Structure 1
Amino acid sequence: MSGTDRQRTQSTSPYEASIGFARAVRVGSRILVSGTAPVEDDGSSTDGDAEAQAERCFAVIVRAIEQLGGAAEDVVRTRMLLIDAADADAVGRAHGRWFADVRPTATMVVVAGLLRPEWRVEIEAEAEVTA
């Protein structure tokens, strides 16, 4: 498949241009969403606890999927990276609000740290559009 068969979307992350990545890429019916941190439209970090940050991550993820012709219902996999296992229930609640009816496969892991020290969570997603 050639590069012209790919669709990409960007977000307001200050890292996309400097690191050289897209928020999401669609190839055929598959949409892959990059690790999404709690970044506001102005590039600042989302205030609040892990649950509030996860809500922001999911909002950015679903917006990217929608920009590429998908929907939250098309999500088949999520990966949640936490800096503290104590945040698992809070991040899980946010996940449930977005995907309780979808029930994608999901992985939640604890990592040593994320790019900005105020971030408590970063999330990836994959969707399969079945129009």
Structure 2
Amino acid sequence: MKNRIFAGVPSEEMAGYAKAVIVGTTVYVSGTTGRDPDTGNFPDNAAQQARNALASIDKALRQAGGSLANAVVSRVYVVDQACAADVTAVLGEVFRDIRPTSTMLICEIPAPGAKVEIEITASLEC
């Protein structure tokens, strides 16, 4: 059985996806960019975008009954090498004691202004 969590953003309906999908005790959180939750704009700073993305992911995980502490896999996409160090520092702060597996890729993100996108898989068993 699948349960879905929606963030209520227009792109979910337009692109046919959910913010998160729960299958058993595993939660798959869609790639999340770092828009400012109050303005909807992207901060210029990649580190702040990473913090915003992780806060949004944590909100979805809490709706599923967990939190970032349940993360077992992180996939991080950044637009260029210059952003990677700032984003890595934020990941180190957040995941220092959690230690999920992690992949970071340098690539284009199809949201103008986005410097980072983060996807998390979490287990509600841990």
Query: Fold-level match, TM-score > 0.5?
Result: yes
Runs of 5+ consecutive residues of structure 2 not aligned to the other structure: none
Are 2:35 and 2:43, in contact at CA under 8 Å, matched by a contact in 1? no
Partner of 2:56: 60
- The offset of 1:97, in angstroms, is 2.0
Partner of 2:12: 16
SS in 2 for 1:15: helix
After the TM superposition, which parts of structure 1 deviate over 4 Å for at least 4 consecutive aligned residues?
A: none
Alpha-carbon distance between aligned partners in 1 of 2:11 and 2:39, rounded to the nearest angstrom = 9
Partner of 2:96: 100
Question: Per the alignment, do residues 99 and 79 of structure 1 end up closer, same or farther by CA in structure 2, a change over 3 Å counting?
Answer: same
Alpha-carbon distance between aligned partners in 1 of 2:93 and 2:50, rounded to the nearest angstrom = 11
Aligned with 2:113 (options 118, 122, 126): 118
Are 1:34 and 1:124, in contact at CA under 8 Å, matched by a contact in 2? yes
2:121 maps to amino acid: E
Structure 1 length as normaliser, TM-score? 0.89
Are 1:74 and 1:128, in contact at CA under 8 Å, matched by a contact in 2? yes
- The offset of 1:116, in angstroms, is 1.8
Deviates more, 1:38-47 or 1:12-21: 38-47
Q: Alpha-carbon deviations, 1:47-103, whole Å to 9, x = none?
A: 231100010010011110110011211100100001101111100111122211001
Alpha-carbon distance between aligned partners in 1 of 2:92 and 2:42, rounded to the nearest angstrom = 20
Are 1:12 and 1:42, in contact at CA under 8 Å, matched by a contact in 2? no
1:83 aligns with 2:79: yes
Runs of 5+ consecutive residues of structure 1 not aligned to the other structure: none
Instruction: List aligned pairs for 1:36-51, cutoff 5 A.
Output: 36-41=32-37, 44-51=40-47
Identical-pair percentage: 34
Report the RMSD for the aligned CA atoms in angstroms. Answer: 1.5
Are 1:37 and 1:119, in contact at CA under 8 Å, matched by a contact in 2? yes
